[in-house]
């Protein structure tokens, strides 16, 4: 029968089941641990201002840039002491959620 | 004026209003494959059963030149009628009149029919086709929405509330359907979203079509906002009529009984479930093998398919079915399937519909994505719903019932009234492989041939625990039955639990893990 064709395999508690796999399962993102050196956008918006430049030494909690989103001017702050390695966006850029804005080292 | 003149005037006034937004607007509506508000009502109701109210209602907005505009019936048709003889109250927004936009009087018509439905204790059907708030009426329009949401909540669990999305339904407008019991959508016609493509483009710079953002398929398959998907308006109306036959008018009644009928011979219950617990089958075939005339009315067919829910009849009596689906994602419990099952159980409980549960699941879905999405609180909904339900609860364990999944799926411990297991049932704390790896870890590690020892231990565990008899020896299941006896046992259980009465502790309301 057609519904029993194209079955995948799903491992639940070390047992392998023959079954159809959902599109949600196929599209899921594997887990990656957060890297404090990667400053990410937590909300989609527009880059209003960038107050640091590559090579600059910054302290934890210092302002890096302002992201205009949902009618608010959101301050993006540094999560670690370090040096700005790369600024990957520029003033006026429209960005989506979860992209890297600044690389730190 | 003579009486006949006055009657003539009434006819003229009616005739004008029946045209809604006028012939041009109606043509536009038709070009989109949509019917008009009154046509929709006629398609849904028994012939000549519709009584319309508030046809002559007009808005009294003054700002933005609104005082110069008349809007026929203020863009919404309300009334009462019957479906297969069952009384229903309904409203249908008229997109041809100011885009079906919701102003104060429009909302008052809707709340009037909602109040009527609640008072008369009859189902409410809302046909939504509206561009949203009537911006010219400002906060009055928002007030109108709020009054509707409040009544949706008051009526919840008292009368069945059905929402039909037959056009755009944006912003605040989507929350009324979300508060109702069943949402019907039609391919290419229904759209639902909180913020539309325009806003997304301005704010996020992302381009997305209405269909991709909030079309019928999205809400049927991905978001779970819709319960029934149809290809056309006519198919949708047939689905609604069918639903009405399965549910009671209100929470102080039972669904209308039908004449019993035997299941069709093509569903041979002895031949459906493979013995190997890792192989799939379609659990809907099991349901069709036990319900009257093999007539199973599935709900949310396309969403979280690893859980099957829907209505069937056992000996003429409407029954809710909840079943793990081994054909899809091995039938695991996860965030979406828990949500789907729990809400349905609460629906059945609210409307005096007995619940039959078929169990065959490997456990909960592992993974960071599931944990982050809150599988703990969503999974807990299933425990809450089964525990809280006081309608007759009958559970049949077909094959695997492991760990938390065993407890969650209508177990004795959550006060199932009858728990049956097939001889193929495996009721254990976990699957044999996982259990052997933990219990005999040392033994396996220290042996000369770990793989062989593991395999032997798995076999030992299977032999001893992968059966229904350990649970039966504790009285956790009431009887081990042959697959072929299932319908007989279900009919018997439903028959002897007709008078079930339990007193739950008094409270204002519980605090379920929403």
CA distance B227 to chain A (A): 18
DSSP notation for A36-99 = TTEEE-SS-EEEEEE---TT-EE-TT-EEEEEEETTEEEEEE-SSSEEEEEE---TT-EE-TT-
Whether the CB of B434 is below 8 Å from some CB of chain A: the reply is yes
pLDDT over 90 (residue B128):
yes
Span A71-104, pLDDT tens digits: 889 999 998 899 999 999 999 998 888 889 999 9
A97, A59 in Cβ contact below 8 A? Answer: no
Among B36-45, B221-230, B249-258, B446-455, the minimum mean pLDDT is found in: B446-455
**Per-residue pLDDT band at B201 (split at 50, 70, 90):** confident
Per-residue pLDDT averaged across B36-54, rounded? 96
- Inter-chain residue contact A19 with B331, CB threshold 8 Å: yes
B168, B191 in Cβ contact below 8 A? Answer: yes
Span B458-474, pLDDT tens digits: 899 988 888 999 999 99
Q: Dump strand ranges (E) for B180-244.
A: 182-186, 191-193, 228-230
Cβ-Cβ contacts under 8 Å, A14 against chain B: 431, 433-434, 437
Facing residue for B279 by CB, picked from A18, A23, A28: A18
Cβ-Cβ contacts under 8 Å, B336 against chain A: 24
Cβ-Cβ contacts under 8 Å, A31 against chain B: 367-369
pLDDT over 80 (residue B204):
no
Count CB atoms within 10 A of the CB of residue A13.
17
Whether the CB of B405 is below 8 Å from some CB of chain A: the reply is no
Reported CATH class of domain A38-104: mainly beta
Whether the CB of B329 is below 8 Å from some CB of chain A: the reply is yes
CA distance A55 to chain B (A): 30
Span B300-354, pLDDT tens digits: 999 999 999 999 999 999 999 999 999 999 999 999 999 999 999 999 999 999 9
A interface with B, Cβ–Cβ < 8 A, is 3-4, 7, 10, 12-25, 28-29, 31, 44-45, 69-70, 94, 96
Whether the CB of B75 is below 8 Å from some CB of chain A: the reply is no
Give the span between the Cα atoms of B330 and B342, in whole angstroms.
Answer: 19
Nearest-Cα residue of chain B relative to residue A21: B329
> What pLDDT does A1 receive?
62
Domain ranges for chain A, please list them: 38-104
CA distance B294 to chain A (A): 19
Count CB atoms within 10 A of the CB of residue B22.
13
- Inter-chain residue contact B327 with A20, CB threshold 8 Å: yes
Q: In three state form, how does the secondary structure of B417-430 look?
A: CEEEECCCCEEECC
Cβ-Cβ contacts under 8 Å, A21 against chain B: 329
Hey, what domains does chain B have and what are their CATH numbers? 3-246 (3.90.226.10), 269-428+467-494 (3.90.226.10), 432-465 (no CATH)
Query: How many A/B residue pairs have CB atoms within 8 Å?
Result: 80
Give the span between the Cα atoms of B36 and B300, in whole angstroms.
Answer: 27
Burial-class residue B207 by CB neighbours within 10 Å (0-12, 13-18, 19+): exposed
**ipTM reported for the complex, 2 dp:** 0.79
Task: Say what the pTM is.
Answer: 0.92
Beta strands B479-480; B418-421: pairing state = parallel
Residue of A19, A30, A33 to mutate, interface with B, max B Cβ within 10 Å: A19
């Amino acid at each position: 029968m057609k519904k029993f064709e194209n079955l995948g395999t799903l491992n639940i508690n070390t047992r392998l089941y023959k079954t159809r796999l959902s599109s949600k399962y196929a599209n899921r993102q594997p887990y990656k641990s957060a890297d404090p050196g990667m400053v990410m956008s937590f909300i989609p918006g527009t880059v209003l201002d960038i107050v640091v430049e590559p090579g600059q030494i910054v302290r934890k909690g210092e302002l890096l840039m302002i992201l205009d989103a949902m009618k608010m001017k959101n301050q993006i702050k540094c999560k670690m002491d370090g040096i700005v390695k790369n600024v990957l966006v520029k003033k006026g850029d429209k960005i989506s959620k979860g992209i890297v804005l600044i690389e730190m080292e | 004026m003579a009486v006949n003149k006055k009657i003539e005037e009434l006819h003229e006034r009616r005739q004008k209003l029946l045209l809604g937004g006028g012939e041009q607007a109606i043509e536009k509506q038709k070009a989109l494959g949509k019917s008009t508000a009154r046509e929709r009502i006629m398609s849904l109701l028994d012939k000549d059963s519709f009584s319309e109210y508030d046809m002559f209602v007009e808005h009294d907005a003054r700002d933005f030149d609104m005082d110069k505009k008349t809007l026929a019936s203020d863009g919404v048709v309300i009334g009462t009628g019957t479906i297969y003889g069952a009384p229903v109250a309904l409203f249908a927004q008229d997109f041809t009149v100011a885009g079906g936009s919701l102003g104060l009087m429009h909302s008052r018509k809707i709340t009037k029919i909602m109040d009527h439905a609640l008072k008369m204790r009859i189902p409410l059907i809302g046909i939504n086709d509206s561009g949203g708030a009537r911006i010219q009426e400002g906060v009055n329009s928002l007030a109108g929405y709020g009054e509707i949401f409040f009544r949706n909540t008051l009526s919840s669990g008292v009368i069945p509330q059905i929402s039909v999305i037959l056009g755009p339904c944006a912003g605040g407008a989507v929350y009324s359907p979300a508060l109702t019991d069943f949402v019907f959508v039609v391919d290419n016609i229904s759209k639902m979203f909180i913020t539309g493509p325009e806003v997304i483009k301005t704010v996020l710079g992302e381009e997305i079509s209405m269909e991709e953002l909030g079309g019928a398929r999205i809400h049927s398959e991905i978001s779970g906002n819709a319960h029934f998907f149809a290809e056309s308006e006519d198919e949708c109306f047939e689905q609604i009529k069918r639903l009405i036959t399965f549910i009671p008018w209100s929470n102080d009644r039972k669904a209308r009984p039908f004449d019993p009928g035997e299941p069709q011979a093509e569903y041979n219950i002895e031949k459906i479930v493979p013995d190997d617990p890792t192989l799939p089958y379609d659990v809907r075939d099991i349901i069709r093998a036990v319900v009257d005339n093999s007539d199973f009315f599935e709900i949310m067919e396309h969403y979280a398919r690893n859980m099957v829910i829907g209505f069937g009849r056992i000996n003429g009596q409407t029954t809710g079915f909840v079943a793990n689906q081994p054909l899809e994602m091995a039938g695991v419990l996860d965030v979406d399937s828990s949500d789907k099952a729990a809400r349905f159980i609460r629906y059945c409980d609210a409307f005096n519909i007995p619940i039959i549960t078929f169990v065959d699941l490997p456990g909960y879905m592992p993974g960071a994505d599931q944990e982050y999405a809150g599988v703990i609180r969503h999974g807990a909904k299933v425990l809450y719903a089964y525990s809280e339900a006081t309608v007759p609860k009958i559970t049949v364990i077909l094959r695997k019932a492991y760990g938390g999944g065993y407890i969650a799926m209508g177990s004795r411990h959550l006060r199932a009234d009858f728990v049956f297991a097939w001889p193929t049932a495996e009721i254990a704390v976990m699957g044999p492989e996982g259990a052997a790896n933990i219990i005999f870890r040392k033994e396996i590690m220290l042996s000369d041939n770990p793989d062989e020892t593991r395999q032997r231990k798995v076999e030992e565990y299977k032999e001893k625990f992968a059966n229904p008899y350990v649970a039966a020896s504790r009285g956790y299941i009431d009887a081990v039955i042959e697959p072929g006896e299932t319908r007989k046992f279900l009919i018997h259980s439903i028959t002897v639990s007709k008078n079930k009465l339990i007193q739950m502790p008094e409270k204002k309301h519980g605090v379920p893990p929403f």
